[in-house]
Structure 1
Amino acid sequence: MSDRTTGFGLPADLAEEAESTAARTAARRRRSRRGPLRRWLHAIVPRGLLGRALLIILVPLLVLQGIALQLFYGNHLGVISRRLAAGMAGEIGMVVEMIQHSPPGADRGWIFREAAWRLDLSMAFEPGAVLSARDQPRAASLPLLPLEEDLEQALRERLLLRFDADWQSDPRSVIVRVQLPDGILHVEAPRKRLFTGTLYLFVIWLVGASALLFVVAALFMKNQVRALRRLAVAVESFGLGRDHGPVKPEGAAEVRRAATAFNRMHARIRRFVTQRTDMLAGISHDLRTPLTRMRLALAMLPSAIGPEGAAAAEQDLAELNTDVAEMERMVAGYLAFARGEVEGKTAPADMVALVEQVAAQARREGAAIALRTPPALIWPVRQDALRRCVANLVDNARKHAGRITLTVEQADERWAQVIVDDDGPGIRAEAREEAFKPFATLSDGGTGLGLAIARDIARAHGGDVMLEDSPLGGLRARVRLPA
């Protein structure tokens, strides 16, 4: 297998595809070694900075409010409930004592009227009635409050008589029935006397304060994350060759420092690219002047030596013209290499039409090219730069192969690719990366800029050029471009 001319691309801003695959494989292995709890936590924890920051704020907030609610519910509310229940039970007990100590046959109506007016207790007496088990409802009507237990305990301490409490018959009252020797005393008491409205205020304060703090934190963190997202978009766009200028520093001090550092790096890289372009353009311009003089001298040489020496010098003149043409091609290649990264702006273009133009030009130069393309593929590219990239790969294949196939396809929603296959001798697998080194020359003695410019342009788009084995038996050059 013979070698071929190769070139070099600039250092990659993105990882190689093989390295990315290895990294994803290693990440899957690390996840597989995690325990079930860690995998579960990893699955439910938000991936974004905003979600994680809000989770860091929300979890301690909920824990703190839960502790506060427990302290209030377990201590303060319990004390208040017991005191209110004891007060109502004491009033009912006092009325029962007054009824029991009243003379037999005396009028008890004044006791009921005084209880209704002074104690807000509605009473009625049912002579001869007896409490039964079915008259004692046990279903809890207020499961979150200790009112029923506290009232029952207070009545048991202060009445010393058989009783029951009905919490279900009236949603606004509790009915206490007390078994007296001659009947049942019915006492209807308002439920609002057994608990305080501070409970609602406390719950509203807990929920309202938590919601307000969460909203404020969410708005604040959203502004901070917005600055980070803008910085990330600017960095990614710059890495893909879409220069949108400096980033406005905003957000927290650390984010502002990161944006300022990016702006400084952006300026240094732009200066470096500009200096490199100017330097190579100046070198190319300086070389064109003596080349022009040499070509002019060669054109005038036959008339200077006369008809008798023209035939003898014809071979030498042809060789000199070939050398001059090769030098001009090298100079053009240097200038194209200098312009390759910064030429043009990214815009949506039809990659199929672009590749068809390259194929048509190659066919005019005698290449046998087959196309495998969809009807159209609109993709954000630098048209002139990408046309040069594909043309260099086709020209490189045309020098070493008789049959070439150009393929345009969309690998997935984020990547498109142009594939150049040939049936030439190819390049050894261990020498393929070496093929991208600067000005590398192998068997054909070329300048080594064809593949260099192609990879430079692909990486300026955020993609890459990879060399593989071709189904045609030769070399495959795959150009991958991100959306």
Structure 2
Amino acid sequence: MGRLGAKIKNEAWLLSTFFRLLKRLMPNTMFGRSLLIVVLPIILLQVLVTYIFYERHWDNVARRLAQGVAGEVAAVISLTDRFPGPEARASILTIARDQMRLAISFEENGQLNETEIQREHSGFLDRQLARALQESLPARNFTLTSNEKLESVVIRLQLPNDVLQIVVRDKRLFSSTTYIFVMWMIAISLALLGIAVIFLRNQMRPIKQLASAAEKFGRGQEVEDFKPSGALEIRSASKAFHDMKHRILRQITQRTEMLAGVSHDLRTPLTRMKLQLAMMPEDQSRENLQSDVEDMRNMVEGYLAFAKGQEAETVQEVNVTRLIESVVENARRQGAQITLTATPEIRTSIRANSVKRCLTNLVENARRHATEIAIAVYPTDSQIVISIDDNGPGIPLEKRQDVFKPFHRLDTSRNSETGGSGLGMTIARDVVHGHGGQIALGRSSMGGLHIELTFPY
């Protein structure tokens, strides 16, 4: 039972290894896989048809041609035995040359080599002709010799006193329809393959167009409507993408218009409250109420900045290094200790003001809770990576996802007394995701919080 289990386990491992290797060899693109689906049946069909043709048709044709030649050779030998003499032999040679297209000559008093008689025939035509001669002339010894190009076959037959030499041209033994058939089959297969490649390329084009539009829209870039093309399913997907894009843009527009009205309605009573507070006598109650009004104003402004998003700003190519340098300089003027490590020039298309606001929020959060900040900026093959590290208290692992919630503030290190409204991380994530990037939090080597932003390059 143990041997059986080990054998089954070994076979299962070999099978899984084979499938992993097959998966690794499979094309990754849809075009490659579709082309493979078209090419494999054509190749299998060619192999099957070629096998059947060679095993059936060509074998039968070659055997019948060899039997015809062997029968003619037997007829020549029979005529030679029945009509001896030089004159009769000359007539027989003329008939063989003119009627049978056989070049015949006699080697008087000749003997065949025993080694050549016993030699095995390696070629397909040689084997067929040897078998036919053995059937037609069972009592005769003979040898077969063919040149490399199969232009002719030389047959030497042992007669009682002489050796009969017969030269048979390739046209008597070989049918040219074999090569014609193979060439036509290959030509038709190549033509079908070319048509399939053109067809598949035309089908892949709308898929790539849809993927490119979805990627741009995911990054927050403007995407113009394009005409759906390709197969019915691809057209349906393109139409669904257009409908989704218009619905999202319509919702963003409605949100912006609604927030414009909310901004006006909220700022007006706040302004009246500030005027009333200015006319109130100086006391502790006035200071407390004035602090609450200021907190309300900060929260309203922060919420409007978060909810308004990035739709009003256009995408343009900017130098990311320069943009980050300006953020760092502003933070240094406010007393922050920041070190910046950056590639001299990194250019990409982004919403500059939104990204600057995102970085400003993150640096401001770090400045409030740390004494040292380190920023690094570098490009990879497909992304721009911005890392921000500080030596502050950091954020516990179980609370790192909560800080992205609107108006969420940590009770100890990040509270309202530090000046935050709980929207800095939320706005930062909204900006990064709007560009098709990612934001991640971790533990910094400096002891505090590590923030890593990635933007498509």
Q: How far apart, in 2, do the equivalents of 1:471 and 1:84 lie?
A: 87
Q: How far apart, in 1, do the equivalents of 2:164 and 2:149 lie?
A: 17
* Partner in structure 1 of residue 426 of structure 2: 452
8 A Cα contact 1:136 1:164, kept in partner: yes
SS across alignment from 2:282 = helix
Amino acid at match of 2:263: S
Q: Of residues 323, 334, 344 in structure 2, which corresponds to 1:365?
A: 334
| Within-5 A mapping of 1:420-439 | 420-439=388-407
Amino acid at match of 2:373: I
1:265 aligns with 2:247: no
* Partner in structure 1 of residue 91 of structure 2: 110
SS across alignment from 1:466 = strand
Identity level (%): 39
Pair 381,342 (structure 1): closer, same or farther in 2 beyond 3 Å: same
8 A Cα contact 1:173 1:190, kept in partner: yes
Give the TM-score taking structure 2 as reference length.
Answer: 0.87
5+ residue gaps, structure 2, are 1-12
Shift in Å, 1:428: 2.3
8 A Cα contact 1:89 1:154, kept in partner: yes
| Within-5 A mapping of 1:366-405 | 366-405=335-374
Q: How far apart, in 2, do the equivalents of 1:96 and 1:135 lie?
A: 21
* Partner in structure 1 of residue 308 of structure 2: 339
1:159 aligns with 2:127: no
8 A Cα contact 2:373 2:390, kept in partner: yes
Amino acid at match of 1:114: I
Shift in Å, 1:465: 2.4
* Partner in structure 1 of residue 30 of structure 2: 49
8 A Cα contact 1:343 1:385, kept in partner: no
8 A Cα contact 2:298 2:421, kept in partner: no
Pair 331,162 (structure 1): closer, same or farther in 2 beyond 3 Å: same
1:89 aligns with 2:45: no
Q: How far apart, in 1, do the equivalents of 2:431 and 2:290 lie?
A: 31
Shift in Å, 1:397: 2.1
Pair 422,106 (structure 1): closer, same or farther in 2 beyond 3 Å: closer
8 A Cα contact 2:121 2:127, kept in partner: no
Shift in Å, 1:387: 0.3
Amino acid at match of 2:203: Q
Amino acid at match of 2:444: S
* Structure 1 residues 86-137: Cα deviation after superposition (integer angstroms, max 9, x where no partner): 1111111111111111134545212111211111111111100011135459
Shift in Å, 1:328: 4.1
* Structure 1 residues 276-319: Cα deviation after superposition (integer angstroms, max 9, x where no partner): 222223211332333444556666x4xxx9xxxxxx53887776
Q: How far apart, in 2, do the equivalents of 1:203 and 1:274 lie?
A: 66
Pair 385,343 (structure 1): closer, same or farther in 2 beyond 3 Å: farther
* Partner in structure 2 of residue 195 of structure 1: 174
Query: 314-323 vs 212-221, which deviates more?
Result: 314-323
Q: How far apart, in 1, do the equivalents of 2:182 and 2:336 lie?
A: 82
8 A Cα contact 1:420 1:477, kept in partner: yes
Amino acid at match of 1:473: G
SS across alignment from 1:109 = helix
Q: How far apart, in 1, do the equivalents of 2:136 and 2:252 lie?
A: 94
RMSD, aligned CA = 2.8
Q: How far apart, in 2, do the equivalents of 1:66 and 1:466 lie?
A: 55
Query: 122-131 vs 212-221, which deviates more?
Result: 212-221
Shift in Å, 1:366: 3.2
* Partner in structure 1 of residue 216 of structure 2: 237
Pair 464,92 (structure 1): closer, same or farther in 2 beyond 3 Å: same
* Partner in structure 2 of residue 38 of structure 1: 19
Q: How far apart, in 2, do the equivalents of 1:41 and 1:169 lie?
A: 41
Q: How far apart, in 1, do the equivalents of 2:217 and 2:375 lie?
A: 29
Q: How far apart, in 2, do the equivalents of 1:461 and 1:328 lie?
A: 29
1:220 aligns with 2:188: no
Amino acid at match of 2:98: W
* Partner in structure 2 of residue 149 of structure 1: 127
Q: How far apart, in 2, do the equivalents of 1:476 and 1:56 lie?
A: 48
* Partner in structure 1 of residue 185 of structure 2: 206
| Number of matched pairs | 439
Q: How far apart, in 2, do the equivalents of 1:317 and 1:105 lie?
A: 147
1:463 aligns with 2:437: yes
